[in-house]
Amino acid sequence: MSVVFNEQEKTFTLSNGRIQYVMQLFLEGYLGHLHFGKALKHFNAKRAFYQTEREGAPNPDLHADARTFSLDVLPQEYPIYGSGDYRIPALEATLANGTTTLDLRYKSHAIFTGKKALESLPSSYVKGNEATTLEITMQEVAGDLEVVLAYTIFDDCDVITRHSRITNVGKEPIALRKAASLAIDFPSDEYDRVSLWGKHAFERNIERTPLNHGIEIASSTRGATSHQHHNFLALCPHNTDEFQGEVYASTLVWSGNFEAATEVSPYGNTRMVLGINGFDFKWMLKPGETFTTPEALLVYSDEGFNGMSQQFHYFVQEHLVRGVHQHEPRPVLVNSWEAAYMDFNEDSIVNFAKDAVKLGAELIVLDDGWFGVRDKDNCSLGDWVEINHRKLPNGIKGLCDRIHGLGAKFGLWVEPEMVSPNSNLFRAHPDWALGVPGHVRAQQRNQYVLDLSRQDVRDYIVNSICEVLGSADIDYVKWDMNRNLTDIGSVAFPAEQQQEIATRFQLGVYDIMKRITEAFPNILFESCAGGGRRFDMGIICYMPQTWTSDNTDEVCRQKIQYGTSLMFPPITMGCHVSACPNHQVGRTTPMLSRFVCAMSGSFGYEMDLGKLSEAEQQEVAGHIALYKELRNTIQFGKFYRLMSPFEGTKNETAWQFVAKDGSEVVVMYFKNVCLPQGNIRQLRLVGLDDNATYKVTKHMFSTSTAANALDYLSNYNLEGDVFGGDELMHFGLNMDKVDSDFAAYLLVFKRQ
């Protein structure tokens, strides 16, 4: 069973045998929500919603059970404002007559195999008949507005996607004030609310708190998903943990302003709503026009947060990431930024590359400073085709060819969405930047934001970036975006459409990304937005990996990467080793610890490897060689979180990778601060074969873990030891005694 409409019960059921989603048409065409969760063999729809009178809850006129039926308590699929439901609405609009009351009723539905792409928006895809879609058309009773609610359920994973298409079928314009992608009502309020918060260089920290009565919101008005909040929200019973209990989670395939809200009603029900942020949002919907909301992903797990993440990880890899790099191993990357910043020339970059390639690097990236007169970050953004020939006398192609001659791939940094006030582009087209009449634009990082709501601006960006990328055989692009949106206005649109510009800007981002990435399908694109400002499901549809954070300190990265892994598989995370003292927090940590943390994703270095001592270079060469050996397991295997830096001692982190075929297991364990006479951590692994044995082939640790390192090596090195799968999972593995700060340990097992 995929999607079934029961004519007698007036129910819609989506099920893949593991998860189930049930809706029902109530009298007079109201669409209610009955169940989302584990697939049930039998479901009594008649008794699923208990109706009773609630004082103060309005009753729709002419309803057969008027005193016991109210929209204020009905669990609704797409709640609206003005007809008696006082909770968070999914849709708000001002009709042509100036009123804001809406009343949506069922009109028709369609069921079909497969899935449609969303117009002008990134969305998930299917390759064959691996999904079924239900579209329910709702009509506003006055007849001027039609809403199509689209649901897709997948055969191969426990994910349901949702979006809405809102069409003006009347003769006068309608102003949309809010258009959510998803609304879902739960019958209980006995949940914890799990969200992600952060700031620049400290993104995606996990926050888990019990639900409170009233409305709680995580949102962004910064023009991007943002460092500060992520468009992810999960509800779970209080006793749910990493491997046990239920989780209901959602995120948006969207990169702009968003709102993720919950509301607990006085009657103990909970509503979750996700979508474009309604703050400062208005969309003038002209007759015949349709507004499509971003796609929402809805995941249910009854195996804790690990089960939730496994579904997200699979879905990202198989239904969002596209192109030739989808299943291709990511190269070991070395970036020039922290090594040289903007102080370089062709020869210095070639020498930088020689040192890196000698140690095993596969991709050399030239970061900012190669165009215009850009020696500082106060000029030249937008002047992309003006190559700095003082630094690169032979242009991008000359440098690219020399890097290729070393046997490495070549990559380049760009920031297409921004413009410097001190640039030829801005001097020629000052109206091309976002701005508000009568106001002086705000600068951030000495730059303005280009007005991507305009076709001419987008065409310029696409043409100039394509000219640069077409000038050489470039293998990789780091696409940066280093500021928030301010002064959100466009001279290209009339006054009544100015509150559309933030949304139109993001649609413009998708347009230029789509056109450029499709023009160069063999280039590996990595998104960066001041690090992880825009690490979301929307961008991942165009760029299969993202620079996880500007902060490369391994202690901070444990939390950043742990939080990111709730939704995103490690292969999508750019993770690099950098020099010490760390450029973001000034901390000095061992090379081994930095390596173990960074190898947990798409691995690379953010430093000048040629400046290391001979002993350090040998260590790096060994690390790179080991990563290449383990790359398939880390990038394409299953990822399991074992210990959280947000819970327990908050001083330890552990995670694990298991190869697709189960033949290899990689375990990382971190303990940040050494404690006197510290406990010996007994770590239980997961995802192994109970009946198999596993041999330790690699055991890496700091030589300062014991007073006598030689004695430690002879007595406690586990290489060659064999353990049972059941032993490792149900008894556990004694980790090393920690006698130094910032310790990290790496264990590799081979199934026998």
In-domain check, residue 304: yes
pLDDT band at 58 (very low <50, low <70, confident <90, very high): confident
SS3 at position 76 = strand
The CATH number of whichever domain residue 309 belongs to comes to: 2.70.98.60
pLDDT tens digits along 177-205: 999 999 999 999 999 999 999 999 999 99
Cβ partners under 8 Å of residue 267, min gap 6: 54, 73
* Closest to 304 (Cα-Cα) out of 192, 160, 162: 192
Position 259 scores a pLDDT of 98
Residue 65 has pLDDT above 90, yes or no: no
In-domain check, residue 648: yes
pLDDT band at 68 (very low <50, low <70, confident <90, very high): confident
Residue 274, Ramachandran bin (φ over 0: left; ψ between -120 and 50: alpha; else beta)? beta
In 438-549, which residue ranges form alpha helices assigned H by DSSP?
Answer: 455-469, 501-519
The CATH number of whichever domain residue 713 belongs to comes to: 2.60.40.1180
Position 705 scores a pLDDT of 47
On average, the pLDDT of the chain sits at 95
pLDDT band at 717 (very low <50, low <70, confident <90, very high): confident
In-domain check, residue 668: yes
Position 51 scores a pLDDT of 84
Instruction: Indicate the Cα dihedral angle 345, 348, 349, 350, nearest 10°.
Output: 120
Residue 711 has pLDDT above 70, yes or no: no
pLDDT band at 57 (very low <50, low <70, confident <90, very high): confident
pLDDT band at 581 (very low <50, low <70, confident <90, very high): very high
pLDDT band at 714 (very low <50, low <70, confident <90, very high): low
Of 320, 337, 362, the position where a domain reaches its end is 320
Position 723 scores a pLDDT of 98
The mean per-residue pLDDT over the stretch 258-268 comes to: 96
HSE-up (13 A, CA, CB side) for residue 277: 24
Other Cβ atoms less than 10 A from the Cβ of 40: the count is 12
Positions annotated as catalytic residues are 480, 550
Residue 385 has pLDDT above 80, yes or no: yes
Position 56 scores a pLDDT of 82
Cβ partners under 8 Å of residue 506, min gap 6: 223, 224, 254, 255, 256, 257
Between strands 476-479 and 409-414, the pairing is parallel
The mean per-residue pLDDT over the stretch 245-254 comes to: 98
SS3 at position 729 = helix
Q: How far apart are CA 434 and CA 331, in angstroms?
A: 37
In-domain check, residue 355: no
pLDDT band at 703 (very low <50, low <70, confident <90, very high): low
pLDDT band at 395 (very low <50, low <70, confident <90, very high): very high
* Closest to 178 (Cα-Cα) out of 214, 139, 219, 209: 219
Q: How far apart are CA 79 and CA 92, in angstroms?
A: 9
pLDDT band at 28 (very low <50, low <70, confident <90, very high): confident
In-domain check, residue 124: yes
pLDDT band at 707 (very low <50, low <70, confident <90, very high): very low
Contact 482, 337 (CB under 8 A): no
Tokens of 74: 């009905």
Tokens 């549809």 correspond to what residue?
Answer: 541
In-domain check, residue 140: yes
Strands across the sheet with 30-38, in order?
3-6, 11-15, 19-26, 30-38
Residue 268 has pLDDT above 80, yes or no: yes
The mean per-residue pLDDT over the stretch 402-410 comes to: 98
* Closest to 584 (Cα-Cα) out of 629, 622, 549, 546: 549
pLDDT band at 310 (very low <50, low <70, confident <90, very high): very high
Instruction: At 609, give phi and psi (nearest 5°).
Output: -70, -20
In the chain, the N- to C-terminal Cα span, in Å, equals 40
In 45-196, which residue ranges form alpha helices assigned H by DSSP?
Answer: none
Task: Identify the H or E element spanning 96.
Answer: none
In-domain check, residue 718: yes
Cα–Cα distance list, 533 to 298, 336, 661 (Å): 22, 21, 35
Of 289, 320, 351, the position where a domain reaches its end is 320
Position 702 scores a pLDDT of 75
User: Which residues face 478 on adjacent strands?
Assistant: 413, 526
Task: Identify the H or E element spanning 367.
Answer: none
Residue 688 has pLDDT above 50, yes or no: yes
User: Which residues face 438 on adjacent strands?
Assistant: none
Of 275, 295, 320, the position where a domain reaches its end is 320
Its domain, for residue 106, covers: 92-320
Q: How far apart are CA 180 and CA 375, in angstroms?
A: 44
Cβ partners under 8 Å of residue 77, min gap 6: 23, 31, 32, 33, 136, 149, 183, 184
In 286-345, which residue ranges form alpha helices assigned H by DSSP?
Answer: 304-315, 337-340
User: How many domains is the chain built from?
Assistant: 2
Position 701 scores a pLDDT of 86
Q: How far apart are CA 260 and CA 264, in angstroms?
A: 14
Position 713 scores a pLDDT of 53
Residue 317 has pLDDT above 60, yes or no: yes
pLDDT tens digits along 90-111: 999 999 999 999 999 999 999 9
In-domain check, residue 193: yes
The mean per-residue pLDDT over the stretch 282-291 comes to: 98
Position 736 scores a pLDDT of 84
The mean per-residue pLDDT over the stretch 474-483 comes to: 97
> What totals of helices (H) and strands (E) does the chain contain, helices first?
12, 38
Contact 695, 659 (CB under 8 A): no
- Cα angle at 472 between 466 and 476, to 5 degrees? 75
Residue 580 has pLDDT above 70, yes or no: yes
Position 678 scores a pLDDT of 85
Q: How far apart are CA 544 and CA 517, in angstroms?
A: 11
Task: Identify the H or E element spanning 714.
Answer: helix 709-716
pLDDT tens digits along 132-180: 999 999 999 998 999 999 999 999 999 999 999 999 999 999 999 999 9
What's the predicted TM-score (pTM) here? 0.97
Pick the more confident residue, 627 or 65.
627
